[in-house]
Each structure stands twice: as structure tokens, then as C-alpha cells.
Chain A
Amino acid sequence: MKMWILGVTALTSLGIAACSSNSSSPPAGNSASDSGSGSSSGASGSSSGGSGSSSGGSSSSSGGSSSSGGVTDASGEASACSEGTIYTRLGGHAGIRGAVNAIVAAELADPDIVTYFFFQTTTPMPAEHPTADQIEECFTDLVGAAVGGPGESYPPDGGVSDEAGTFQCNPSMQSIHAPLLISGGTFDKFITIAGGVLTTAGVCPDDITTLAGALVSTKTEVVTPSLFDAGYQAFPGDAAATIGASDGAVEQ
């Protein structure tokens, strides 16, 4: 009898856990839309733009830098756009991290987009999910590797770490985003916000073209196929399972 009750309890717990992990936020960060927040629980103040972040993957040292990071200074003074590589023009890893932090902050400020970041905006944040700091560092590594930064790789060996522990960045764009049922309109809104941040930060136009091209090229992986032409939408919540069941986009 006791074993039977234990079994039922375990089943219930598993079911509820499945429910709560069904839709929510992504398991890893590969695009800033995955990024959670700036510093949930102040986690190293990552998105605060200030403070040096403590994260730092195995391959990277992270570095909070300011919100304008190494991309440009706060006055909008652009660095010379013809010097060095795109990686150095972006300010290396620390500069990219600063830009990522600023993008994440801007995305969190959007009332639609923020609905995709339930766990990162919940206090206290559930332990089994990546912190905002970890997600931002994953995205920084992704961008660093995409622009050919020396020593950059994605996913980084050994994952990314902060005071909450170590997180292994997910290499699959599709599997990360599928449970979120992201529409084409929502993806475009994300790009619009990110593009505005990079432009305001004074990133060289050619470098924005490169970064925007890289981001836009992920649309087919990030957006749920049946929602490609759909407009803007907040995170559909549990409806995700229903929609996903029809096109196999959601892991059941």
C-alpha cells in the first residue's frame, strides 16, 4: 500500500514537472531571444550592463562591460570600421558580451517578448534552468565563434559557469526554440529590437550586416514552421503542446 502511494506521488510529480517544463523558457541560449534576463537574482549583474559578469565559459572569460560594451562607448562614438577584424571591432569577447547584455535588456523590456522568459524572470529562479548569466554567455560564445574570434567555440567545451554552477550550451537552434512556438512575427520583432540596440551602440554598418545576416539566417530553425507567416504573439503557454502536436515541432 505504501509503495503504491509512493508510486502515485512520483507519477504526479513527474507529470507536473513535465507540465512545467513543457513550454517555458529554452533550455539553453543560442540566440538572445533565449537569453533570459539580466541578472535574475542579480546573477552577476549580467544584463545590468555594468559589472563584470562572473560567467565565463571554458573558452571565454565573459566580461560584463558596459551595455555598450566594447562595441562603442556610451556617446555613440564608433570605432574605426576598417580596422582589425569584426571580432576586434566588436571589442572581443567582452565587447560582444556587453552588446548581448544590452540586447537582452531591450528584449526583456518588450511586453510580448518577456513572456518567453518565465524562468529567468521568476524569483527565485528554478534551479534546473540556466541562469540569465549562463544564457547570455552561451549567446556570447555563439556570436564569438560565428565571427571567427580566436579561441571562441560553440558550444564551449565544459559549458559556461557562474555562481549558480555550470551549464552546457545547447548546440541545436531548433531543439531549443521548438517548445517556444515562436512565430515569424515574433522573430522579426526580436531582430528589430536587436538591430536597434546594435545600431544605437554604434556598431559598424558592415558588422551589423554580418550579424543581422547571421541572425536572420536562423529564422527557419528558430521559427515554428506552421507559424512562419504568423504575426506577433506572446508566448502561447500551454497551447504550445496543441500546436506542436500538429506539426511535430514540440517534444511531447
Chain B
Amino acid sequence: MARSSSKPIVKRLAIAAGAMVFTTAGIGALHMPFARSLLMRLGGCPMAGARVTPKEMDNGRRMALEVERGKTAAPARPAVGFVLDRTSPADVHAWAAREHVSCDDRHPGLVVCTDVKPGAVGLPDTEGTIDELALGFNQHGALANETTTRGHLTPQGAEQAAHVIVDSLSARLGPADKSVGSFGAEQLRGPTAASISTVSYRYTDYVAEVSAINLPHSGLSVREHYMSASD
């Protein structure tokens, strides 16, 4: 009696085990090079999209800070439109919806917005449209890293945008730790190396830098970078 009742259980276990093995084999086979295109058509590997997480981004930021951290606390920690160590991804998406800005979650902890009008982040029109606004969040979901990039600028446009940004930083932070170049149109229209202008601020809890460069293919661009160093 006991032997006959155990047969269905064994049979079910065998079927379940077989199904698991079959599924595992199928997933494994889909990841083989010869089947990669099929996997992509099926939507890709769900695990692969999770490669870079806020943990890795935090690690990278801390590695950078080993080199870039300053020795005194910042008198202020300005960033474009948002607040370091406070703004969350939800805040950004709410802002994007409100301001009709296109933003994507490129990776967990990384939101990238494109074609951001200066008014959307509280800046004067003279700063020009931000081609890319990248916002990196730490493991606690707070804004830790921000960059803006404005590209394909005219020398005059780059000079104007850069000077507004640099003057604003100078007003809040004082003289830069390092400053090279004038951000003037005459310099910016020069060849790559000669065109570079940059200012940088280094504190124990904050890093900021602005740079402009003229590159052969993409022309003049201005980049801002604001990073929390409080952790």
C-alpha cells in the first residue's frame, strides 16, 4: 500500500526535475554564441541589463575620489537643477514629466535626459540647450553625480555658455583650484589641444569642473561635472 502511494510522488518529482533540467539547458543554450541572435529576438538576457548597478557606480566614484578629493569642505555644492545627496530618480522623473523633458533609465542608478532647455533646470537661456544631462545615483537612491554636455557649439555660443557657468561657480565657490585657458571664442576655435579650457574645484565633500574643447568631428563642446564626495 505504501509502495503504491509513493509512485505518483516519485513520478511528479521526476517530471519536475526533468523540466528544471530542460529549462536550464534551454537557457544555457540560448546564451551560446550560435544562439545569441535568437536570444536577442526573444528580448535579451534579463540578467545582462543589470550589469552596472549603483553599487558599481559608487565604487567607480570612490576610486575617482581617491585622486580627485580635496582637503577642505565646500562652501556650497552647486549642481544643475538638482540637489546632490538629496534628489531621487523619482524626483527627476517627476521633473521630466512636468517640464516635458525626455529622460531614460539607462542603467539602474543612471538617468539620462536629452535636449534639456536651460529654463527647465532654472538656468538662463544664455547657457544654451543641454544635449545630455546624465544623473548618477548612489546605493541609497540619492543623486551623487551629474554631468551636462553641450555639443556642436559655435565659438561664440561656447564662450557664452561657458562663461555663464564658470562665473556662476566662481560666485558661489570663489576662485577655482585649477584654471587653464580663457574659454574665449578665439581660443575655443583653435585646434583640439589649443582649444581646451578648464576649471576645477576639489573639496572633501564635492568636486566640480567645467571644460570646453574643439574636436575634429563633433566641434566645440562644453561639459560640466558635479560630484558628491560626502561619503
Q: Does A23 contact B (CB under 8 A)?
A: yes
**Interface-forming stretch among A12-20, A84-92, A139-147, A169-177?**
A12-20
Q: Report whether over half of chain B's contact residues are helix, strand or loop; otherwise say mixed.
A: mixed
Q: Does B154 contact A (CB under 8 A)?
A: no
A19, A20, A109, A189 pick with most chain B CB within 10 angstroms: A109
Whether B57 pairs with A12 at a CB distance below 8 angstroms is no
Whether B60 pairs with A209 at a CB distance below 8 angstroms is no
Which residues of B are found within 8 Å of A20, using beta-carbon distances? Answer: 48
Whether B218 pairs with A185 at a CB distance below 8 angstroms is yes
**Interface-forming stretch among B79-87, B89-97, B119-127, B219-227?**
B219-227
Q: Does B161 contact A (CB under 8 A)?
A: no
Q: Does A52 contact B (CB under 8 A)?
A: no
Q: Please give the distance in Å from B88's CB to the nearest CB on chain A.
A: 15
A18, A111, A115 pick with most chain B CB within 10 angstroms: A111
Whether B145 pairs with A109 at a CB distance below 8 angstroms is yes
A252 in contact with B36 given A16-B28, A105-B66 (CB within 8 Å) = yes
Which residues of B173-223 have CB atoms within 8 Å of chain A's CB atoms? 178, 180-181, 191-194, 196-198, 200, 207, 209, 211, 213, 215-218, 221, 223
Of A14, A40, A102, A235, the residue contacting B63 (CB under 8 A) is A40
Scan A95-118; emit 1 where CB is below 8 A from any B CB, else 0. 000000110011011111011011
Whether A118 pairs with B52 at a CB distance below 8 angstroms is yes
A11, A235, A251 pick with most chain B CB within 10 angstroms: A11
B63, B107, B225 pick with most chain A CB within 10 angstroms: B63
Question: In the docked arrangement, what's the CA distance between A212 and B32, Å?
Answer: 39
Q: Does A196 contact B (CB under 8 A)?
A: yes
Whether B25 pairs with A48 at a CB distance below 8 angstroms is no
Of B24, B66, B194, B217, the residue contacting A12 (CB under 8 A) is B24
Q: Does A192 contact B (CB under 8 A)?
A: yes
Chain B residue with minimal CB distance to A192? B213
Scan B45-77; emit 1 where CB is below 8 A from any A CB, else 0. 101110110001101110111111000000000
Question: In the docked arrangement, what's the CA distance between A26 and B30, Å?
Answer: 23
Scan A230-241; emit 1 where CB is below 8 A from any B CB, else 0. 011111011101
Question: In the docked arrangement, what's the CA distance between A199 and B209, Å?
Answer: 13
Which residues of A are found within 8 Å of B197, using beta-carbon distances? Answer: 199
Chain A residue with minimal CB distance to B223? A192
Which residues of B are found within 8 Å of A45, using beta-carbon distances? Answer: 66
Which residues of A are found within 8 Å of B30, using beta-carbon distances? Answer: 15
Of A232, A238, A242, the residue contacting B131 (CB under 8 A) is A232
Q: Please give the distance in Å from B218's CB to the nearest CB on chain A.
A: 5
A105 in contact with B68 given A112-B112, A114-B60, A237-B51 (CB within 8 Å) = yes
Scan B97-112; emit 1 where CB is below 8 A from any A CB, else 0. 0000000001100101
Q: Please give the distance in Å from B139's CB to the nearest CB on chain A.
A: 13
Question: In the docked arrangement, what's the CA distance between A112 and B148, Å?
Answer: 11
Question: In the docked arrangement, what's the CA distance between A115 and B59, Å?
Answer: 11
Q: Does B29 contact A (CB under 8 A)?
A: yes
Which residues of A are found within 8 Å of B66, using beta-carbon distances? Answer: 38-39, 45, 47-50, 105
Which residues of A are found within 8 Å of B216, using beta-carbon distances? Answer: 216
Q: Please give the distance in Å from A185's CB to the nearest CB on chain B.
A: 7
Question: In the docked arrangement, what's the CA distance between A192 and B158, Å?
Answer: 14
A108 in contact with B106 given A209-B192, A209-B193, A212-B192 (CB within 8 Å) = no
Which residues of B are found within 8 Å of A237, using beta-carbon distances? Answer: 48-49, 51-52, 107
Question: In the docked arrangement, what's the CA distance between A111 and B111, Å?
Answer: 9
Question: In the docked arrangement, what's the CA distance between A32 and B64, Å?
Answer: 14
Q: Please give the distance in Å from A102's CB to the nearest CB on chain B.
A: 6
Whether A22 pairs with B225 at a CB distance below 8 angstroms is no
Q: Which 7 A-B pairs have the closest CB atoms?
A: A15-B31, A12-B28, A111-B136, A238-B48, A109-B64, A105-B67, A15-B28
B binding-site residues for A, Cβ under 8 Å:
21, 24-25, 27-34, 36-37, 39-40, 44-45, 47-49, 51-52, 56-57, 59-61, 63-68, 106-107, 110, 112, 114, 131-132, 134-136, 145-147, 149, 151, 178, 180-181, 191-194, 196-198, 200, 207, 209, 211, 213, 215-218, 221, 223, 225, 227
Query: Beyond the given A185-B151, A192-B213, A237-B107, could you list 16 further A-B residue pairs with CB under 8 A, ordered by the A residue number?
Result: A12-B24, A14-B28, A15-B28, A18-B31, A19-B47, A38-B64, A47-B66, A106-B68, A118-B52, A121-B56, A122-B56, A192-B221, A199-B196, A208-B196, A231-B131, A234-B134
